[in-house]
Amino acid sequence: MKITDVRVIVSSPGRNFVTLKILTDEGIYGLGDATVNGREMAVAAYLEEHVAPCLIGRDPHQIEDIWQYLYKGVYWRKGPITMASIGAVDMALWDIKGKAAGLPVYQLLGGKSREAVTLYGHANGSTIEDTLDKMGDLVKQGFKVVRLQSAIPGLDGTYGVLGDKKDYFALQSDRPLPPELPWSTVKYMNMIEELFAKARERFGNEIGLCHDVHSRLTPIEAGRLGKMLEKYNLLFIEDAVAAENQESYKIIRQHTTAPMAIGEIYNTVWDCKDMIENQWIDYIRMAATHAGGITPMRRIADFSAMYHVRTAPHGAPDLSPICYAAHMHLNLWAPNFGIQEFVGFGTEKSNEVFKYDLQLRDGMVYVGDAPGLGVDFDEDAAARYPYKRSYLPVSRLEDGTLWSW
Ligand code: GCO
Ligand code: MG
DSSP string, 202-225: HH-SSSEEEEE-TT-S-HHHHHHH
Identify the bridge partners of residue 117 per DSSP, sorted by sequence position. 365
Q: Is 37 in the pocket of ligand 1 (CB under 6 A)?
A: yes
Give the model's pLDDT for residue 260: 99
Q: Is the CB of 40 under 6 A from ligand 1?
A: no
Answer yes or no: is the C-beta of 316 below 6 A from any ligand 1 atom: yes
CB atoms within 10 A of CB 368: 12
Nearest-angstrom CA–CA distance, 299 and 305: 10
- What amino acid positions are annotated as catalytic residues? 159, 214
Decide whether any atom of ligand 1 lies within 6 Å of the 357 Cβ. Answer: no
In the reported structure, the alpha carbon of residue 147 is separated from the centroid of ligand 1 by a whole-number distance in angstroms of: 12
Helix (H) or strand (E) holding 134: helix 128-141
* Residue 392 near ligand 1, beta carbon < 6 Å: yes
Residue 159 is predicted with a pLDDT of 80
C-alpha count within 13 angstroms, C-beta hemisphere, residue 119 = 27
The Cβ of residue 160 has, within 10 Å, a number of other Cβ atoms equal to 18
Per-residue burial over 115-135, b if 16 or more Cβ lie within 10 Å, else e, is ebbbbbbbbbbeebeebbebb
Query: 113 near 332, Cβ under 8 Å?
Result: yes
Identify the three-state secondary structure at position 305.
helix
Q: Which residues surround ligand 2, an ion (CB under 5 A)?
A: 212
Q: Fill in the DSSP letter of residue 340.
A: E
Q: Pinpoint the residues of the chain covered by CATH 3.20.20.120.
A: 108-370
**Probe residue for ligand 1, chosen from 318, 343, 394 as the CB with the greatest number of ligand atoms within 8 Å:** 318
Instruction: Identify the pLDDT of residue 175.
Output: 67
- Report the separation in Å between the CA atom of 311 and the middle of ligand 2, taken as the mean of its atom positions: 14
Atom of ligand 1 nearest to the CA of 122: 8
Quote the pLDDT of residue 168.
66
Q: What is the pLDDT of residue 57?
A: 98
* Claim: this prediction has a pTM higher than 0.85: yes
Best residue for ligand 1 mutational test, from 35, 36, 214, 260 (most atoms within 8 Å of Cβ): 214
CATH class of 108-370: alpha beta
Strands ordered across the beta sheet of 394-397: 180-183, 394-397, 402-403
pLDDT in the model for residue 294: 99
| Nearest residue (CA) to ligand 1, atom 13 | 37
Angle at which helices 294-305 and 321-333 pack, to 10 degrees?
A: 40
Which superfamily does CATH assign the domain made up of 3-104 to? Enolase-like, N-terminal domain (3.30.390.10)
From 246, 128, 262, 242, select the one nearest 190 (Cα to Cα): 128
Burial class (CB in 10 A: 0-12, 13-18, 19+), 290: buried
pLDDT for position 313: 98
State the amino acid at position 246 in one-letter form. Answer: Q
Q: Which residues of the chain does CATH 3.30.390.10 include?
A: 3-104
Residue-level pLDDT at 320: 96
Question: What spacing in Å lies between the alpha carbon of 281 and ligand 2's midpoint?
Answer: 15
- What residue ranges of the chain have pLDDT lower than 70? 164-169, 173-175
Q: What is the pLDDT of residue 160?
A: 78
Q: What 3-state DSSP class applies to 383?
A: helix
| Rama region for 319: left / alpha / beta (φ>0; ψ in -120 to 50; rest) | beta
CA of 118 to the centre of ligand 1 (A): 19
* Residue 382: half-sphere exposure toward Cβ, Cα within 13 Å: 20
Distance between CA 130 and CA 164 in Å, rounded? 13
Q: What is the pLDDT of residue 174?
A: 64
Q: What is the whole-number distance in angstroms between the Cα of residue 214 and the centre of ligand 2?
A: 6
